[in-house]
Amino acid sequence: MLIALMFILAYLLGSIPSGLIVGKAAKGIDIREHGSGNLGATNAFRTLGVKAGSIVISADILKGTLASALPFFMQLDIHTLLAGVAAVIGHSFPIFAKFKGGKAVATSGGVLLFYAPFLFITMIAAFFLFLYISKYVSLSSMLTGIYTFIYSIFTKDVFLIIVVAVLAGFVIYRHIANLKRILNKTEPKIKWL
């Protein structure tokens, strides 16, 4: 019973639509009606600006971290990564925003921040390296997912490898439309790096 409650709480944490809340509070807008129409941090930066976008990405990361900590706080004998996956599902398919959420990048990172902090730090470095080279946020997110999977293999932590493979695959799947736009040269590039 407690394990079921934990999964529900993790999903609900992930479902908190940070981009929607910050967009309404900061600018009085629904970011789903602007930019890419996505609730994630990238669209928040593009439509709300750096300050509000930073709040959104921090909140999205924190959702994954707090959800992953639930088994610890609730003293449950269940792997923390499973709770994190529930939060990622909530972020991508939020009950509070008609099941249309973000692309799982920041929340997935938050899950790994709790379980493997050093891996999280290297992910951030890898993301900005890919971003510097490509200028595409979406491509950098996908490449970071691949990097994270490769890194996880060297840890020999079977559970981590499986979960990272699932999360990285999901992130890539959520970015298929972006990949098509990159190939068609219609995907927007960043200009600040």
pLDDT digits 0-9 by tens, 136-176: 999 999 999 999 999 999 999 999 999 999 999 999 999 99
Is a pLDDT exceeding 90 seen at residue 192?
no
Distance (Å, rounded) from C-alpha 118 to C-alpha 74? 25
Residue of 98, 103, 95, 73 whose CA lies nearest to 5: 73
Residue of 136, 134, 168 whose CA lies nearest to 151: 168
Is a pLDDT exceeding 90 seen at residue 36?
no
pLDDT digits 0-9 by tens, 67-95: 999 999 999 999 999 999 999 999 999 99
Neighbours of 34 (CB within 10 A): 16
What secondary structure, in 3-state letters, does 85-119 show? HHHHHHHHCCHHHCCCCCCCHHHHHHHHHHHCHHH
Distance (Å, rounded) from C-alpha 142 to C-alpha 148? 10
- Position 35 confidence tier, pLDDT thresholds 50, 70, 90: confident
Task: Give residues with Cβ within 8 angstroms of 161, minimum separation 6.
Answer: 149, 152, 153, 155
Q: What per-residue confidence (pLDDT) applies to 177?
A: 94
Please spell the DSSP secondary structure of 15-70, one letter per residue: H--HHHHHHHHHHS--GGGSTT---SHHHHHHHH-HHHHHHHHHHHHHHHHHHHHH
Q: What per-residue confidence (pLDDT) applies to 1?
A: 87
pLDDT digits 0-9 by tens, 105-131: 999 999 999 999 999 999 999 999 999
